[in-house]
Amino acid sequence: MPLSTQSQGDAEQYVLVASLDNARNLSNILKAITFKDHAIFSATPNGLKVTVEDSKCLQANAFIQAEIFQEFTIRDDSVGFQVNLTVLLDCLNIFGGSTVPGVSTALRMCYKGYGYPLTLFLEEGGVVTVCKINTQEPEEPVDFEFCSTNVTNKVILLSESLKEAFSELDMTSEVLQITMSPSQPYFRLSTFGNSGNAHYDYPKDSDMMELFRCTKTQTNRYKMSLLKPSTKALALSCKVSVRTDSRGFLSLQYLVRNDDGQICFVEYFCCPDEEEQ
Amino acid sequence: MDCVVMGGNVKVLAKAIHSLSRIGDELYVEPQEDGLALRSVNSSRSAYACFLFAPLFFSRYTVHSGHTFRCKMAIKSVQAVFRSLASLEKTVEKCHIELDNQNNRLTFTLHCKHGLMKTHNLSFQDSESLQAVFDKDSYANVFRSHPRLLVDTVMHFPPSLEEVTVSVSDERMWVRNHVEEEGDQSKAMLTELCLASDEFDHFAVQAHNSVTFCLKELRGLLVFAESTGLPMSMYFDEPGSPVVLSVTDSVLEGNFVLATLSDDSNHRKKNNSRGAHTPPPPDDFMNDDIDSYLIAMDTSVAPGPSATGPPTPQLADSICSKQTAAASHRTRLHSEEEEEDKTTDSGRPLNKKFCSLFFGSVLPPSPQMSTQPVSSQQVLASDSEDDIQ
């Protein structure tokens, strides 16, 4: 394979080298968080975390573990940089992104460190393309201080049922209200639009509800415009966990299976629009 | 009101609502003793549709006797409740429609699989009763066929086509696109289909008439009829009288009433150049005489009973024909608006105008009505108490 011949010679100069036989295992999951141009990449020996933020109120993270990559070499404890995510995705799909079975784009992503561009070697059908994308100083992602000990309510739903609800949500509503309660209505999504209000209720004993752990009744509203991008992650996922903490902050965690059946995670954090207890 | 629709009927209800949305922007809801009536009308009041669902359509149907409830709401809001027809079939078990008097909302609750419940509380406005007055059983020409026949016919016309003309003889029906006389004839494409009477389940012609109406508004009903497989009936009389298309089964009845171009005999008399009307082309479709064919195409209306004939009985035909240009302003369809420029000569009536359907009872008269001089009109101001259907 042409890409591997380069690894011996210049392995020393790169702080991060990550290879994938199928670039879609990275590009598909990145599409689920592309609502802003710039993404913060943070690599540790555990794997790659890509963060996108919107106005300090919404944060999306995609986690791709080291095991997903065919090669994942990192020289420091942590490597971080910021790139234009749209450009990166364009490069990953440079061969047209066709889904002919058996044909995939191979990727080798290399980074020399601070000040250097992110280099992508992409190969398909014997054709190799080299892309160099300028990197920026990574911004510090907002710490939403969402810890599992502070979680008041948690449910895990099969994505199938939520997908339908999200596709039907009344977009004339400025907010999406989420009610979680140990009693009726258990788990409710509400919208308040031009023609009236709408509620989607999921009972705790539904077979779509894999886990139901609600300790107290909470109703929180979130800006619809902030949550809209999460539908991309929902579309890719098979399960989603919805958690709220005592402040009303929302955490959505999506379990995504890639082309090879491996598991990756996408997580969305969102601040409440107003607090209602 | 309080009613429950089960299983497959939810999809039928949804399809009816979607087809009504092709007519107008508002849905008129009127729960009656004999069933739930859902109606819609277009802005120029030249197309009207009504679906009546009998109490048997529902697994529960309760109407509060005494105060009659009538409302109208934006049809888009109701469509949003039944957004995805495919998923309706797969996931919805029942639909509960209930009037929430306290909050002034009409509540649609969809009970879906896996315990999921979708509740839509829609706001509405009180409205007057909307009922076009027509008596299809008195019309001269009646046809019935599987909707497939009409769908296949209509398929040959472009989706943008506004008006279509249907002409009949004892054994044949011709359907052709209606082309403006003033338009550029050389650029117009004329399409005509001929259907034989044996393609219909029922073909009864008493008058060899031609009627021209707007096809677009009909397409909604065609989609509904095709998906439910119910036979479609078509009724029409003379030009100017509406054409009625309906689907019926034991638990529902849908009627689409479309205004037709009126037969302007006054104009014909004044304008000799238009010539005598020729009958529809002979049965032999292989007639190579292009000239006579084009002459037949040129006439927009076929001979029918004269518009200035004796007034028809009140009960049977209460559609008004406006004979004067002044009154015709209010009956114009949006697509005809460009013709306003041509009516500079107030003495000369327009050579085409769609009639507004006559609506019975309590709709307030249009503001223009009172200011227009009205002469030689066949308006039949039926009693407001009349409840003719």
User: Is the residue at B264 inside a domain?
Assistant: no
Q: Is the dihedral of CA A8, A14, A15, A19 positive or negative?
A: negative
Looking at B207, B227, B259, which one is the last position of a domain? B259
Instruction: Say whether both A65 and A166 belong to one domain.
Output: no
CATH classification at residue B240:
3.70.10.10
Total number of domains in chain B: 2
Report the side by side order of strands in the sheet with B210-214: B192-196, B172-177, B163-168, B210-214
CB A49 within 8 A of CB A60: no
Nearest residue on chain A to B122, alpha-carbon basis: A196
Note whether A208 contacts B: Cβ–Cβ < 8 A: yes
**Dist CA B22 CA B216 (whole Å):** 8
**Dist CA A230 CA A235 (whole Å):** 9
3-state secondary structure of B312: coil
Q: For A170-228, give the DSSP string.
A: -TT-SEEEEEE-SSTTSEEEEEEETTEEEEEEE-TT-TTEEEEEE-S-EEEEEEHHHHT
Looking at A72, A107, A136, which one is the last position of a domain? A136
User: Is the residue at A257 inside a domain?
Assistant: yes
Task: Say whether A164 and B84 touch across the interface (CB within 8 A).
Answer: yes
Q: Which domain holds residue A68?
A: 16-136
Pairs of CB atoms within 8 A across A/B: 60
Phi and psi torsions of B152, nearest 5°: -65, -35
B326 membership: H or E segment, kind and range:
helix B325-328
pLDDT higher for B39 or B369? Answer: B39
* β-sheet bridge partners, residue A212: A155
Q: What is the pLDDT of residue B276?
A: 37
User: Is the residue at B356 inside a domain?
Assistant: no
User: Is the residue at A232 inside a domain?
Assistant: yes
* pLDDT single digits (tens) B199-211: 999 999 998 989 9
CB B156 within 8 A of CB B175: no
Model confidence, pTM: 0.75
Enumerate the residues of chain A whose CB falls inside 8 A of the CB of residue B116: 161, 165, 200-203, 206, 208
Indicate whether B359 pLDDT > 80: no
Partner residue facing A195 (CB), from B74, B87, B114: B74
**What's the average model confidence in pLDDT over A147-171?**
90
* β-sheet bridge partners, residue B92: B112
Task: Say whether A196 and B105 touch across the interface (CB within 8 A).
Answer: yes
Q: What is the pLDDT of residue B263?
A: 66
Instruction: Say whether both B110 and B217 belong to one domain.
Output: no
One-letter amino acid for residue A190 of the chain:
S
* pLDDT single digits (tens) A232-258: 999 999 999 999 999 999 999 999 998
Q: What is the pLDDT of residue A11?
A: 57
Instruction: Say whether both A175 and A68 belong to one domain.
Output: no
CB A178 within 8 A of CB A188: yes
User: Is the residue at B332 inside a domain?
Assistant: no
User: Is the residue at B283 inside a domain?
Assistant: no
**Dist CA B217 CA B258 (whole Å):** 8
Cα-based angle B332, B334, B340 (whole degrees, multiple of 5) = 55
Instruction: Say whether both B151 and B60 belong to one domain.
Output: no
**What's the average model confidence in pLDDT over B30-40?**
92
Looking at A75, A101, A136, which one is the last position of a domain? A136
Give which of B7, B55, B28, B27 is closest to B253, Cα–Cα. Answer: B55
Instruction: Say whether both B107 and B195 belong to one domain.
Output: no
Candidates B85, B95, B120: best to mutate against A (most CBs of A within 10 A) is B120
Span of A53-57, A79-83, B53-57 with lowest mean pLDDT: A53-57
User: Is the residue at A22 inside a domain?
Assistant: yes
Q: What is the pLDDT of residue B278?
A: 40
Burial B207-219 (b: 16+ CB within 10 A, else e): ebbbbbbbbbbbb
Nearest residue on chain A to B83, alpha-carbon basis: A168
E strand segments, B18-70: 26-32, 35-41, 47-53, 60-62
Q: Is the dihedral of CA B181, B185, B188, B193 positive or negative?
A: positive
Tokens of B254: 């849908």
Indicate whether B296 pLDDT > 80: no
Instruction: Say whether both B189 and B109 belong to one domain.
Output: no
Indicate whether B380 pLDDT > 80: no
CA distance A178 to chain B (A): 14
**Dist CA A16 CA A79 (whole Å):** 7
Tokens of B149: 């026949």
Task: Say whether A161 and B116 touch across the interface (CB within 8 A).
Answer: yes
Instruction: Say whether both B239 and B147 belong to one domain.
Output: yes
**Residue A21 burial (CB < 10 Å; 0-12/13-18/19+)?**
middle
**Residue B151 burial (CB < 10 Å; 0-12/13-18/19+)?**
middle
Tokens of A259: 């082309």
Secondary structure of B266-292 as H, E, C letters: HHHHHCHHHCCCCCCCCCCCCCCCHHH
Task: Say whether A206 and B114 touch across the interface (CB within 8 A).
Answer: yes
CA distance B107 to chain A (A): 9
Enumerate the residues of chain A whose CB falls inside 8 A of the CB of residue B84: 164, 167-168
- Residue B70's contacts (CB-CB under 8 Å, 6 or more residues apart) are B28, B29, B30, B126, B127, B128, B129
Indicate whether B72 pLDDT > 80: yes
CB B201 within 8 A of CB B146: yes
Q: What is the pLDDT of residue B84?
A: 83
Enumerate the residues of chain A whose CB falls inside 8 A of the CB of residue B120: 196-199
Instruction: Say whether both B40 and B151 belong to one domain.
Output: no
CA distance A202 to chain B (A): 5
Q: Quote the crossing angle between the two packed helices A85-92 and A24-31, to the nearest 10°.
A: 140
pLDDT higher for B263 or A267? Answer: A267
Tell me which residue has tokens 């591997």. Answer: A4
Cα-based angle A188, B89, B249 (whole degrees, multiple of 5) = 130
Q: Are strands B92-100 and B105-112 parallel, antiparallel or unpaired?
A: antiparallel
Give which of B76, B82, B98 is closest to B26, Cα–Cα. Answer: B76
Instruction: Say whether both B26 and B118 belong to one domain.
Output: yes
Q: What is the pLDDT of residue B185?
A: 65
Enumerate the residues of chain B whose CB falls inside 8 A of the CB of residue A203: 115-117
Confidence of residue A97 (pLDDT cuts 50, 70, 90): low
Nearest residue on chain B to A171, alpha-carbon basis: B80
Distances, alpha carbon B226 to alpha carbons B15, B52, B85, B261, in Å: 11, 18, 15, 27
Instruction: Say whether both B98 and B163 belong to one domain.
Output: no
User: Is the residue at A73 inside a domain?
Assistant: yes
- Chain B residues interacting with chain A (CB cutoff of 8 angstroms): 73-74, 76-77, 80, 83-84, 87, 91, 105, 114-123
Dihedral of the CA atoms B357, B359, B364, B367 (nearest 10)? 10
Instruction: Say whether both A35 and A91 belong to one domain.
Output: yes
Confidence of residue B253 (pLDDT cuts 50, 70, 90): very high
E strand segments, chain B: 2-6, 26-32, 35-41, 47-53, 60-62, 71-74, 92-100, 105-112, 117-123, 125-126, 141-145, 163-168, 172-177, 192-196, 202-204, 210-214, 232-236, 243-248, 252-258
pLDDT higher for B359 or B218? Answer: B218
Distances, alpha carbon A23 to alpha carbons A69, A88, B1, B19, in Å: 10, 11, 58, 46
- Residue A79's contacts (CB-CB under 8 Å, 6 or more residues apart) are A15, A16, A41, A42, A43, A44, A111, A113
Nearest residue on chain A to B114, alpha-carbon basis: A206
User: Is the residue at B37 inside a domain?
Assistant: yes
* pLDDT single digits (tens) B126-182: 888 888 888 888 888 999 999 999 999 988 888 877 889 999 998 999 999 887 766
CA distance A224 to chain B (A): 17
Instruction: Say whether both A58 and A130 belong to one domain.
Output: yes
Tokens of B17: 């609502």
Instruction: Say whether both A55 and A112 belong to one domain.
Output: yes
CA distance B6 to chain A (A): 19
Indicate whether B383 pLDDT > 80: no
Distances, alpha carbon A14 to alpha carbons A116, A250, B163, in Å: 10, 38, 71
Instruction: Say whether both B31 and B119 belong to one domain.
Output: yes
CA distance B125 to chain A (A): 11
Instruction: Say whether both A89 and A173 belong to one domain.
Output: no
Looking at A92, A111, A136, which one is the last position of a domain? A136
Instruction: Say whether both B105 and B151 belong to one domain.
Output: no
Q: Which domain holds residue B22?
A: 2-126
Looking at B229, B259, B289, which one is the last position of a domain? B259
Other Cβ atoms less than 10 A from the Cβ of A184: the count is 11
User: Is the residue at A63 inside a domain?
Assistant: yes
* pLDDT single digits (tens) B232-252: 999 998 888 899 999 999 999
Task: Say whether B105 and A201 touch across the interface (CB within 8 A).
Answer: no
Give which of A51, A25, A41 is closest to A266, Cα–Cα. Answer: A51
Instruction: Say whether both A186 and A85 belong to one domain.
Output: no
Total number of domains in chain A: 2
Tell me which residue has tokens 């060899």. Answer: B208
Instruction: Say whether both A183 and A266 belong to one domain.
Output: yes
**What's the average model confidence in pLDDT over A125-150?**
91
Task: Say whether B76 and A198 touch across the interface (CB within 8 A).
Answer: no
Q: What is the pLDDT of residue B356?
A: 63
Confidence of residue B370 (pLDDT cuts 50, 70, 90): very low
Q: What is the pLDDT of residue A41?
A: 95
CATH classification at residue A27:
3.70.10.10
**Dist CA B209 CA B95 (whole Å):** 44
- Mean of the per-residue pLDDT values for chain B? 73
Dihedral of the CA atoms B196, B198, B201, B204 (nearest 10)? 70
Instruction: Say whether both B122 and B6 belong to one domain.
Output: yes
B293 membership: H or E segment, kind and range:
helix B290-298
* pLDDT single digits (tens) B313-347: 333 333 333 333 333 333 333 333 333 333 333 33
CB A57 within 8 A of CB A67: no
Nearest residue on chain A to B103, alpha-carbon basis: A196
Instruction: Say whether both B16 and B94 belong to one domain.
Output: yes
Nearest residue on chain A to B105, alpha-carbon basis: A196
Task: Say whether B73 and A195 touch across the interface (CB within 8 A).
Answer: yes
